[in-house]
Amino acid sequence: MNDVTLLVATGDFGLTSFVKSVFMTKDYSVISATSGLNSINLFKNETPSAVILDIGISDCDALSVMREITRVSDIPVICVSKKEDVLDKVLYLEMGADDFIVMPCDAREFQGRLRTVMRRYLKGRNMLAKELVYRNLCINLSNYTVKAKGENIKLPPKELELLYFLASNPNTVFSRDQLLDKIWGYDYFGDSRTVDVHVKRIREKLENFYDGWSIKTVWGVGYEFSTE
């Protein structure tokens, strides 16, 4: 199965062939559309990993294709053109394009630039995935910060990791042993009171900020991050 699907939006068969030749590996597949409207429809039906958009595409303005794609998705869009026009480059980059490549382009450079865009995109997605927001509470595991009602709450790493894990699984009860395993690791030699102490400290720091969420004790079992 291919990990990355590229949508090539162009009426230029040569460009489509070039992209296919550059990315003919087991990790990539290439689908193509020969018009603007067809590109939009194919994009919505196939959900590609990235779009390579020829700004000279026929039957509708390439800017319209850009607007529609960026309206519904944040996947990378790489614009290509046969002419080097600074105004075009600035316009499409300001519209949200992730890169602008003037053709012809060396195959290795083209491949490298797309991979760079994809790495940047995936890195951003991963960082977003490490941020949880519940009304007035924001927990960010990428920079180890917690904010409640806009106020920075200082939590040591293990307290923050425990809070993040519970909040990542709302309304799910975890035993103390499960939490020890998830946060401290299976080879941790402490006892379950460690979890109790950390939950107590987290509650003390956040109890004035509860708003539709709370850390509840399920007697005889463990703890859960409860939401309304």
pLDDT tens column, 21-69: 988 776 788 999 988 888 888 888 888 889 999 998 876 788 888 888 8
1: pLDDT confidence band, cut at 50, 70 and 90? very low
Spatial CB neighbours of 1, under 8 Å, sequence gap ≥ 6? none
Shared domain for 223 and 207, answered yes or no, is yes
Shared domain for 138 and 197, answered yes or no, is yes
CA distance 62 to 82: 14
Report the mean per-residue pLDDT for the chain. 86
Which CATH number is 24's domain given?
3.40.50.2300
Shared domain for 9 and 54, answered yes or no, is yes
Shared domain for 8 and 109, answered yes or no, is yes
Shared domain for 19 and 125, answered yes or no, is yes
What is the per-residue pLDDT for 223?
A: 95
What single DSSP character describes residue 207? G
Mean pLDDT of 136-145: 88
Shared domain for 41 and 78, answered yes or no, is yes
What single DSSP character describes residue 208? G
Over pLDDT 90: what percentage of the chain?
Answer: 34
CA distance 73 to 43: 10
Of the candidates 86, 106, 129, which is a domain's last residue? 129
Helix (H/G/I), strand (E/B), else coil: 141: coil
Of the candidates 95, 129, 163, which is a domain's last residue? 129
Least confident piece of the model among 14-18, 81-85, 184-188:
184-188
Shared domain for 169 and 212, answered yes or no, is yes
Host domain of residue 166: 131-227
Helix (H/G/I), strand (E/B), else coil: 225: strand
CA distance 49 to 7: 8
Shared domain for 98 and 152, answered yes or no, is no
The 10s digit of each residue's pLDDT in 75-132 is 889 999 988 888 888 888 888 888 899 999 999 999 988 988 888 787 666 656 678 8
Residue 130 structure tokens: 């490490």
What is the per-residue pLDDT for 26?
A: 63
Domain count, the chain: 2
Residue 102 structure tokens: 């003037």
Q: Tell me if 139 sits within 8 A of 132, measured CB to CB.
A: yes
* DSSP code per residue over 65-84: HHHHHHHH----EEEEESS-
What is the per-residue pLDDT for 37?
A: 87
